[in-house]
Every structure is written in C-alpha cells, then in structure tokens.
Structure 1
Amino acid sequence: MTKRIISTGLAGAALSAVFLAAMPASGADYPHAGEPIGTVTEVYDGKLLPDAAVSTFRNIDRLFPTRTIKAGGAVRDLPQADKPLGEVSFTTGDQTYDLYDVMALDSFTAMIVLKDGKVAFETYQRGNTPETRWMSMSVAKSITSTLAAIAIKEGKLAGLDAPLTDYVEALKGSAYEGVTLRDILMMSSGVRWNETYTDPASDRRALLKAQIAQQPGSAMKLMASLPRAAEPGTVNNYSTGETQVLGEIVRGAVGKPLAEYLSEKIWVPYGMEADANWWLDSPDGHEIGGSGISATLRDYARFGQFFLENGTIGGTSILPAGWRDEAAGPTTLKDGSKLDYGYMWWTGWTEPSIADGAFAAIGIQGQNIYINPKRNVVIVTFGAQPKPTGKEPVDPLVFFDAVAAALD
C-alpha cells in the first residue's frame, strides 16, 4: 500500500536562490532566524544534509512569500496529563522497537501526545523549541479540507455536490466542468494528473514550476489545461493539483484568503498560541492549498484536538453534522469501490487503527497528525527524513497505534 504520495521541486536552484535572497528573515525574536537554509528544489529532491534539512524545515517561510495566520485572544491550555506516557514497545515484522528507536530511525525532530486533551508526552530535538514553526507539507491538505467544511456549515459553499466551477471562474470550460466539491475532496475528479516526482515532465513538477514562477493565476492556468482521463467520481488519483483547486474553491466561496479564514474560524477562537504562516503562489497572492503552512507543535496538536472534538468551539461545532467521521473515510466511488482515503485525510491501514477508527493528516518527510477517536488520542510529529518518502524504517502508524494503546 502506497502512502504519503509526494511531489518534487525543480526549476533549478538558481530560481530558489532568488527567493532566499528576497524573503525576509522570520523575525529577530524567532529562535531560528538567520540560520542557513537550502532551496525548495533541494527539499523536494531530498538533497539536504541532516543539519541543513532541519534548519530549512523550520524556516520555510523564507522559501516563498507567505501570509500570516494570526493568533490572538486567550490561549487554549494544554495541561499535563495525570498519567504520562510510559514504556512503549511493539513488534513489527521480526523486529521490536521502542519510542527511542522510532524517534531516531524515523528522524522525528519533535513529538507531542495528547490524551483526553492533556499532554502525556512532549519532546523537542535537533535544536527545536516550543516556539519552532515547522513545515506542514501535505498536512495542509487536511486543514484546507476542514476550511471547506466550515464554509459548507456557514452556507457559503452549497454542499458536497456543488459544481466547483461555480466558485472558480478560471476552470470554466475546462475538464473540471461537471466536477463537484466531493470529487475534489476525494481526489476523484477524473482529470488527468501525474504525481510522479522523479519525472521532469510530470504535472506535479509543472505545478511546482508555476509556484516558483510566482505569477498570479499560473497554477489555475495549468489546471485548466489538463485533459479528462475518466468520468468524475469514478477513479481516485492522488493529485496535489486537486488541493490547489480546493483552495481556490474555498477562497471563491468565502471571499477572503485562506490564511485569514483559518485565523478567523479556528486559530483565534480555538486559542492557538502563535501566529503561523502559509505559502503564497505570488506576492500577496493565493495560498498553496496542499502545503506550505508552518506552525508550532502545540498548535498542530490543538488543531488535531479541534478535529477530534468534531470542530467544537464554545460548545458548538463549526463543522457539518457527522463531518469528522465522514471526512476520515473510507470514502466510496460511484461504482461502490471503497478508498483508503477520506476528504483529504488518510484512513488507518493497520489493524489497530482500523479497529479504532484512527486516521491521519500526513506530509512528506515525516509530518503527521494522528487522531484516534476511540482512545481520545492525538499525536503530532515533526520529521526531517532524508527523502520525501520511502525512508521511514518504521511505519509511523504502527508506532502511533502502540503509543495510543500504551495510554490506556
């Protein structure tokens, strides 16, 4: 089973270097401001030495222009759990591992575990601190899909069957005609897409080239040029481009930038403790729907807790009824085939996670938000793995399942 399908950088280190020179530092009070960092091409190609990877991943707001996701007001407390995480040991294949093995082998640079909304374990490695903002990569996809859910609840999106071209003018007359919001959330639009990161001619590399170019509207111009490969709702094909489309749908529906909407609906009212950042497709442009959020470990954990609690703020859910479980999947194609994918969330693929209804937001190089509703557990990791995928000696979900069980 292939998880964490990735996308890659291209277009040359020279273009990336332009951004490094142009972007301001993260702020004099940021603990990692001024650290030397690599290029976006090196990030996606997996060509950063360990120290350079760590310093780059906690400074991604220097790779592209960003918009601030503002925090404010009372910070939601994350109290210490009465029972801290104890010994974690598990066997997979013919090998036995513990927490210390996994932290080292899977190159996790920070980790937090919430049980019943309380901190049972928290650690920062490789110079990271509670103030460190770390890249989300595709964890952002799950956040963007949650913004779509809020827009549905507010009546700004007509629902899962809404035609996306009602909200994205640039895709009218393209292969996206007749594609619904549900199709996009399930990555089943039927529009042709090649996510192969190693192929210089792939669609994913073309999308990154558009991002590097920083020309307004270039991403939607690319998406509008793609042909149809199947009828909408009949084939699942993982596509980072679909999430860029989703971001445009939400922006078109709510009439404001995604970072502003996220701040207004979740970051401030739920009590996030720090401002976060979100990559833009051009200076003062549109957010990159599928990646580019940088936030603190505790605020990612708060987002996981928010979603675990069905999006409840002040005693009322801001998500449509039943959204959490529906979005967690599995979802179903028109022919009845079930997908191990939800609405831009990954369903569990291990026996314990399936039994518990656990699911996850997953990003390349080791970024995870694991949510286990049965055991009321949220786990977040920062990762600095040497390649975007394929370099996790231990399946993180097996580890997360063991941690969740150890807290019983």
Structure 2
Amino acid sequence: MRLIIIIAALLIAVFSASASGRSWQSADPGSAGWSIEGLKQAQNYALSLRPTGIMVVQDGRIIASWGDVSRKVNVASVRKSLLSALYGIAVSEGRINLGSTLAELGIDDRPLALTETEKQATVRDLLMSRSGVYHPAAYETADIKRKRPARGSHEPSSFWFYNNWDFNTLGTIYRQRTGEDIFQSFEQKIARPIQMEDFSHRDGHYVKEQASEHPAYPFRLSARDAARFGQLFLDGGRWGDRQIIPSSWVKEATTAYSWTKRGRQGYGYMWWSLPSDVWGLNAAYAAGYGGQIIAFIPSKRLVVTQTVDLSQNPKGIKTSHFIDLLREIVSAAP
C-alpha cells in the first residue's frame, strides 16, 4: 500500500510539473494511446496549410509540435480572448461591473458622438458583441466595414454583430477602471504566473485611427505560449496550485450567448464555442485573422494552438481549415 501511495504521489508530481512548469514536457504519443497513423495524417494536412507553428497538448504534455512554436506573431483577434481573461480577474476584484452602462462609465467617441440610446449598452453587452453601437472602429477588416449595420438599427443587447468597436472600447474601459496598461497587466497577472516562455509586455501595442478614439491592442504570441493560455482555460483558470482566473469566469466567458447563422458555433465573452454534440461539453476557441487559434477540448483533455506569420503566408489559413485539422487530431486522440 505504501508503495502505491508513493507511485501515485510521483505521478501527480510529474503531471504538475508538465502542466505548470517552466518548460513543456513531452509525452510519447503511442504510449499515451494515440493513433500514430492518424497523427501523421494530421501533421501532413497541417503542414500543407503552411502554419508558422502548431502545438498539440494533452494532459499538460506535448503530443506533437510542428513548425517554429517559439516564434512570436501577431495573433490578431485572439487579443480579445486574452483581454476577456483580464476582465475575469478585474470583475472578481470588484473593479469592473458588468452591468455598468457606457453612460455611467463616461464612454463616448469622436468624431461622431454616441447617442443616448447607444450609451445604455452595458459592459456585458460589449463582451457579448451586442452593444448596438455601430460606430467606425480601429483595426477593422474591409469585410466588417462592409457588413456593419447602420447606426441606430438595433437596440443594445438585442442583436449580435462581430464588432471591433465593442472590443476596442472594452480595452479603454479596462484601462480606465483598473488604471493599468493592458499588456503589462497581462504579463503580470497571466503570462508570468503560467510561466510563458516568450511573451513580454513589449509584445503588445496600441493601434489608433482617426475614426474612433478607442484604440485596438494587438498582441504577439508564440504557439507554445498560446498553448499555456489554452491549458489555463482547459483547467478552469487554474495553474498548478494557484487559481489565476476564477473558474466561474472561464465557464461564463466560453458559454454561447449568440449563434452564427449556421448555428454550429456560438459566441460568449470574446470566445467562440463549439457544438457539444460534436466536440463534447465546453469546447471553445480563440480565433484571429489569418489562422491564429487557441482551442481547447475538455472531453479529450486537449489543447491545440496554431500561429501563422502572414508575412510568410499572406493568404493565411481559414478557420474552417483549422477546424478540419482539429477533427483529424481529435480522431487520432485516445
């Protein structure tokens, strides 16, 4: 019995080191029950897409890594999920109230001011991308500009539209209510505690445009640091023996409050969710233009990240192609 207890303690220690240590530990896929042929097929498909780096992590250990997983790239709209995590901390500390309206927070914009109706949108509405504020925004794609609804066409909370104005304004609210820089805050509250190997606050910057006073806040991440962030959410906001993000926020942020037209992907608090009938419960991902992805699948204890340097692969990788890759990886998993 004593021997069994010692072995169990050693196994717990090994897992803890792999999931929350300074550097990732690797696992032998075959010994872990993976289909080697299936994993090879996934690798071949992945490399055909020309990513910069891909990490496949199960139970806190590397199953596979393809490409340059230490190279930092602009992860585009993944920035929104990173900020969502900071919001979870700030809300739990009582520094931000999700029910506060833009009017109460003194939020406006220029050169076109917000209407009184628009100012009734709450912080929660912005997190869900349901503000009803269709003001021009910094860092928008041409597609979003073309599809943006007319000002005043929808009341706050009544309509979902993937809206950079909401996301950028959340950055302004975070800085105002906490008095902290987004990137320094992320480094101190998340990157250091989960021992990211590559990120520093210098890997973020603000993008300002004349169309709006609320700047965007792009991040640069490596695939292996992105995997740590995915592991943090997979483990309910916990890293080792420390609760970094409240577990209640992890669940709340990755719950679908809106669904795309096809009804197969939902949107939470700046996170995308996947249908449970295909991926199991609570599967979600962060996505950025060009193929930047952080996905976690609790039913398989799996994290998969993908980065794409658009200077080397200008067309990027479609999210739908990543989902196809994710299916192959999940099929190969035990």
Question: TM over 0.5, yes or no?
Answer: yes
Q: Please tell me the residue identity of whatever aligns with 1:387.
A: K
State the partner residue of 2:27.
81
1:77 alignment partner, SS class: coil
Whether 1:357 aligns to 2:282 is: yes
CA RMSD, aligned part only? 3.4
1:329 alignment partner, SS class: coil
Query: How many residues are aligned here?
Result: 294
TM-score (norm 1): 0.63
CA contact (8 A) 2:102 2:122 kept: yes
1:177-196 to structure 2, matched below 5 A, reads: 177-192=119-134
Residue of structure 2 aligned with 1:174, choices 107, 111, 114: 114
The alpha carbon displacement at 1:201 in A equals: 6.8
The alpha carbon displacement at 1:360 in A equals: 0.6
TM-score (norm 2): 0.76
Rounded to whole Å, the distance in 1 between the matches of 2:214 and 2:131 is 22
The alpha carbon displacement at 1:77 in A equals: 3.0
Q: Give the direction of change, closer, same or farther, for the CA distance of 1:286–1:266 in structure 2 (3 Å limit).
A: farther
Residues 244-286 of structure 1, C-alpha deviations (whole Å, 9 max, x = no match) = 011111111110110011111101122111234012136xx98
CA contact (8 A) 1:194 1:202 kept: no
Whether 1:268 aligns to 2:192 is: yes
1:123 alignment partner, SS class: strand
1:335-374 to structure 2, matched below 5 A, reads: 340-349=266-275, 351-353=277-279, 355-374=280-299
CA contact (8 A) 2:56 2:304 kept: yes
Q: Please tell me the residue identity of whatever aligns with 1:174.
A: L
CA contact (8 A) 1:186 1:331 kept: yes
State the partner residue of 2:178.
254
CA contact (8 A) 1:168 1:252 kept: no
Q: Give the direction of change, closer, same or farther, for the CA distance of 1:309–1:321 in structure 2 (3 Å limit).
A: closer
Whether 1:378 aligns to 2:303 is: yes
1:5-404 to structure 2, matched below 5 A, reads: 76-83=22-29, 86-87=35-36, 89=38, 98-124=41-67, 129-158=68-97, 160-167=98-105, 169-171=107-109, 174-175=114-115, 176-192=118-134, 197-198=141-142, 202=146, 227-276=151-200, 277-281=203-207, 288-289=216-217, 292-313=218-239, 315-331=241-257, 340-349=266-275, 351-353=277-279, 355-383=280-308, 384=310, 385-387=313-315, 392=318, 395-404=321-330
CA contact (8 A) 1:153 1:318 kept: no
Q: Give the direction of change, closer, same or farther, for the CA distance of 1:362–1:338 in structure 2 (3 Å limit).
A: closer
Q: Please tell me the residue identity of whatever aligns with 1:185.
A: L
The percentage of counterpart residues that share the same residue type is 26
The alpha carbon displacement at 1:341 in A equals: 0.8
Q: Please tell me the residue identity of whatever aligns with 1:109.
A: T
Rounded to whole Å, the distance in 2 between the matches of 1:393 and 1:309 is 24
Q: Give the direction of change, closer, same or farther, for the CA distance of 1:359–1:321 in structure 2 (3 Å limit).
A: closer
Q: Give the direction of change, closer, same or farther, for the CA distance of 1:286–1:259 in structure 2 (3 Å limit).
A: farther
2:86 alignment partner, SS class: helix
The alpha carbon displacement at 1:89 in A equals: 4.2
Q: Give the direction of change, closer, same or farther, for the CA distance of 1:315–1:393 in structure 2 (3 Å limit).
A: closer
Rounded to whole Å, the distance in 2 between the matches of 1:194 and 1:399 is 35
Rounded to whole Å, the distance in 1 between the matches of 2:145 and 2:187 is 37
Any unmatched runs of 5+ in structure 2?
Answer: 1-19
Q: Return the structure number with greater helix share.
A: 2
Residues 28-63 of structure 1, C-alpha deviations (whole Å, 9 max, x = no match) = xxxxxxxxxxxxxxxxxxxxxxxxxxxxxxxxxxxx
Residues 143-183 of structure 1, C-alpha deviations (whole Å, 9 max, x = no match) = 1111111110111112x222244445445972441111111
State the partner residue of 1:221.
none
1:99 alignment partner, SS class: helix
1:370 alignment partner, SS class: strand
The alpha carbon displacement at 1:340 in A equals: 1.5
Rounded to whole Å, the distance in 1 between the matches of 2:329 and 2:229 is 19
Residues 283-333 of structure 1, C-alpha deviations (whole Å, 9 max, x = no match) = xx98624xx211222111111111111222453423344222221121159
Q: Please tell me the residue identity of whatever aligns with 1:378.
A: V
Rounded to whole Å, the distance in 1 between the matches of 2:299 and 2:135 is 36
State the partner residue of 1:69.
none
State the partner residue of 2:9.
none
CA contact (8 A) 1:114 1:120 kept: yes
